[in-house]
A and B are shown apart, each in its own frame.
Chain A
Amino acid sequence: MKLMHCPLNGPRNISEFQYGGVVKTMPDPVAGSDDAWRDYIVYEPNVAGPVLEWWCHLPTSYWFIAERDTVSDRIIRTMPAAEMFGATPAAGDET
């Protein structure tokens, strides 16, 4: 079976993972217009080539980001989401 390298659990069978869509910038929940939300939800870049995607390792509910080539099905690299978006603020850290 095809293997994917989970940043938390190491190499695992691809059947343990759930695809979560391409990484897109979410519209601002308060200021985002209806059109911006529609574009975000409906339209797909559907790129043929390397693309950044959300994946989840189901047994551990761990979401991370993978760069995958959608033509060759090669997984180029995987990384914790924090590497792209910075560390999640710890509870009580909100300003």
Chain B
Amino acid sequence: MPFALLKYGLRRRYRPVPDLPPEPDLKKRYDVVIIGGGGHGLATAYYLATVHGIRDVAVLEKGYLAGGNTARNTAIIRSNYLTPEGVAFYDESVRLFQGLSEEFDFNILYSERGHLTLAHTDAAIRTARWRAEVNKHLGVASEVIYPDEIARLAPNLNLSRDVRHPVLGALYHEPGAIARHDAVAWGYATGAARRGVSILQKTEVTGIVKDGDRAIGVETNRGRIEAGQIVQQVAGASTLLADMAGFRLPIRTVPLQACVSLPVKPFLDPIIVSGSLHVYISQTPRGELVMGGASDPYPLYGTRSTLDFKEGLMANMLELFPFLAEMKILRQWAGMTDMSPDFSPIMGETPIRNYWLDSGWGTWGFKATPVVGKRMAETVATGTVPELIRPFRLARFDDIELLGDKGAASVGH
């Protein structure tokens, strides 16, 4: 086998097979134009092509493929949310994720670890019980467990009572998983491109062309493109695009920072999250510890990292894993998140006809990649918003029918 591989590598006529076909020429018109070449946009293009047979699709990306928040998240997948609408929605996403490697014939390194949301206060235990009951009612595996059981799942975790915030219990979500985020985007991109979708990088949308209240195309740095329908899937830049299209959003753009350590031997199986300590940590199959915390304390259209963030994160994390004090940080980064007021996404219709919205993904967007793709594709193909994502409509802010998922969406807001 090694000799065969060597021979293959040294062969003169060796021709690597590119993952993506060469970028096609820009056309004057597409049936569907997707703004944003991240996970969500690529997944939408993929399901438009595979499920609905709509292949005259362009995905416009101002930078490079999946270089925004798809590359800047912490790759956690779970469905233990608080609102019934949220649980049902994310549950479909988890089930789609479980079959992705097989569907793509490409390993996304989906790794089911179990997800522990630690509770350090009576209030946190109460929220954990609430979430567990909502989850169980909707058929999602969640239960409240106590330190003896936590110690069995995460033997390295510091469960001493002699700390500032002792662990009282945890919400345990067995299907909680991690995956390789880049592979998810590549899988969708490759699948879409092979079926005729045009993925156009370094193509920045600079304006939306309208005819009355109807969107008919986009202006780009490469000229005007006509479009039958347009889907906006741009995370932190959501407000900028909505301004171009001419409608308002209740979104604030706030950076979320994260970092990874040097790779070490596997010691941490479950994903550990603490809302009170503003920490989440998991170990990748490569052995790196992926760590994140609270969002930045004020809005910013930027992806800089700060020392304050890491000091705050590490101070708390060392209470959970004191033996990591000598660990070195390998990489740090930040993503621009589109935070909605109720910590739920905003999807579906906009005041502009033929212009669909997928935003408000804040700090919880990666885990929804497959379900967003599937359901936004269905929305575009049929012209009606599916029941599963209708509660997440933009108009809910006008009717004040909010979907408060703050207690489950992320930590430390």
Q: Which residues of A contact B (CB under 8 A)?
A: 1-2, 14-15, 18-19, 38, 42-44, 46, 48, 53, 70-73
Contacts of A43 in B (CB 8 A): 248-250, 397
Tell me whether B398 is interfacial, beta carbon within 8 Å. yes
Given A1-B307, A71-B302, are A44 and B239 neighbors across the interface (CB < 8 Å)? yes
Of B10-18, B211-219, B292-300, the one touching chain A: B292-300
Q: Is the CB of A14 within 8 A of B308?
A: yes
B280-314 residues at the A interface, CB under 8 angstroms: 297-302, 304, 306-308
For residue B253, CB closer than 8 A to chain A, the reply is: yes
Residues of chain B at interface, number, CB under 8 A: 22
Residues of A within 8 A of B397 (CB): 38, 42-43
Residues of B within 8 A of A53 (CB): 298
Once A2-B306, A38-B398 are accepted as A-B contacts, the answer to whether A46 and B298 lie under 8 Å apart by CB is no
Q: Are A46 and B300 in contact (CB under 8 A)?
A: no
Contact in complex: A71, B301 (CB < 8 Å): yes
On whether the beta carbons of B252 and A46 are closer than 8 Å, the reply is yes
Binding site for A on B (CB under 8 A): 239-240, 248-253, 297-302, 304, 306-308, 341, 397-398, 400
A14–B252 Cα distance when bound, in Å, is: 20
Nearest residue, chain B, Cβ from A14: B308
What CA separation (Å) do A1 and B307 show in the bound complex? 7
A78 vs B57: C-alpha distance when bound (angstroms): 48
Contact A73 B302 (CB under 8 A): yes
* Cα(A48)–Cα(B300), bound, Å: 8
Evaluate contact between B308 and A48: CB separation under 8 angstroms. Answer: no
Q: What residue of chain A has the Cβ atom nearest to residue B342's Cβ?
A: A42
- Which residues of A sit under 8 angstroms from B300, Cβ to Cβ? 70-71, 73
Docked Cα-Cα span, A43 to B88, in Å, equals 27
Q: Judging by beta carbons under 8 Å apart, are A44 and B251 in contact?
A: yes
Known A-B contacts A38-B397, A38-B398; the reply to A44 vs B301 at CB < 8 A is no
Q: How far is the CA of A15 from the CA of B250 in the complex (A)?
A: 26
Closest CB in chain A relative to B198 CB, distance in Å: 28
Whether A38 touches B249, Cβ cut-off 8 Å, given contacts A1-B308, A14-B308, is no
CA distance A1 to B312 in the complex (A): 13
Give A45's nearest chain B residue, CB to CB: B239
Question: Which residues from B are CB-within-8-Å of A38?
Answer: 397-398, 400
Q: Are B249 and A46 in contact (CB under 8 A)?
A: yes
- B298–A15 CB distance below 8 A: no
- Taking a contact as CB atoms under 8 Å apart, the answer to whether A46 and B299 are in contact is yes
A49 to chain B: closest residue by CB: B301
A44 — which chain B residues lie within 8 A by C-beta?
239, 249-252
Question: Known: A14-B308, A48-B240. Contact between A42 and B302, CB under 8 A?
Answer: no
14 example contacts (A-B, Cβ-Cβ < 8 A) are as follows: A14-B308, A18-B297, A43-B248, A43-B397, A44-B249, A44-B251, A46-B249, A46-B252, A46-B253, A48-B239, A53-B298, A70-B253, A70-B299, A71-B301
A5 to chain B, nearest CB (A): 16
A73 B341 Cβ-Cβ under 8 A: no
Residue of B nearest to A35 (CB): B398
Q: Is the CB of B250 within 8 A of A42?
A: yes
- In the assembly, what is the distance between CA of A71 and CA of B336, in Å? 11
A50 to B239, CA, bound (A): 15
Q: Are B301's CB and A48's CB within 8 A?
A: yes
Complex interface: chain B residues within 8 A of A1 (CB): 307-308
- A92 CA to B113 CA in the complex, in Å? 64
A44 to B398, CA, bound (A): 14
* Residues of chain A with a CB closer than 8 A to B308's CB: 1-2, 14-15
B301 touches A70 (CB 8 A): yes
Whether the Cβ atoms of A73 and B249 lie closer than 8 Å is no
* CA–CA, A70 and B300, complex, Å: 5
CB of B248 within 8 A of CB of A19, answer no
Q: What distance in Å separates the Cβ of B83 from its nearest Cβ neighbour in chain A?
A: 18
The smallest C-beta distance from A26 to any residue of chain B, in angstroms, reads 17
- Give Cα distance in the complex from A1 to B384, angstroms: 50
B243 → chain A closest CB, angstroms? 9
Separation in Å of the A54 CB from the closest CB of chain B?
Answer: 11
A51 to B252, CA, bound (A): 13
Alpha-carbon distance between A15 and B307 when the two chains are bound, in angstroms: 12
The winner among B251, B299, B308 for most chain A CB atoms within 10 A is B299
Q: Given A2-B306, A73-B300, A73-B304, do A46 and B251 touch, yes or no (CB 8 Å)?
A: yes
Cα-based distance from A43 to B250 in the complex (angstroms): 4
Cβ A46 vs Cβ B239 within 8 A = yes
Q: Which B residues are in CB contact (< 8 Å) with A15?
A: 308
- A71 to B: closest C-beta gap in Å: 5
